Amino acid sequence: MKVSKEQMAENRERILDTAAQLFREKGFDGIGVADLMKSAGLTHGGFYGHFASKDDLMAQATERALGKLHTAWAALARDAAHNGKDPLGAVESAYLSARHRDAPGHGCLLAALGSDAARQGPVVRQAVTDGVQKQVDALATLMPGRTKAAKRQRALADYASMVGAMVLARAVDDPDFSDEILQATAAALRVCAPPAA
């Protein structure tokens, strides 16, 4: 039975969303194409009608996950600014939350797959690089500081701190210690904030 172009596009979107979630939950190597397609409600045979390889899917799922994070950060910052609150603080608080920690399949790809991504091929690494650059650029627009270079440096440090804190908070098996990691990092980011120029 022939599938319409619209259905093909919907299937592709479903595969990408499913892959982005399952890769963050199970790791790039923690789920195969057959199980991923089954989770998306599709047959394994349809995979190659959408993607050249699993690496191609991993790269596109990476782009999807990082793109959604970028969109979420923009919405948080915009809403905070609209309500007279600190946009940067809103992003940092949401990132360093128990809600984010407890839902790795829907959170930051880097906190879930950073070390795994470092072991992948060039197409996945490029997708990670592009996504991280975009995140850093977005954070830099929220940073106080006198120069573009100073704002970028702070954005890099903040992003690295947030990702590292989330990795640690998820890795430990003591819930109180996990909360302490998130709270300490959030407090440190606020303390280290330079005054607005």
At residue 16, the pLDDT reads 94
Stretches in the chain below the pLDDT threshold 70: 1-3, 191-197
CA distances, 55 to each of 33, 58, 117, 121, 139 (Å):
11, 5, 11, 8, 28
pTM score: 0.89
Q: How many Å apart are CA 188 and CA 185, to the nearest integer?
A: 5
pLDDT for the residue numbered 193: 54
Mean pLDDT of the chain: 92
The closest alpha carbon to 97, from 118, 76, 67, 119, belongs to: 76
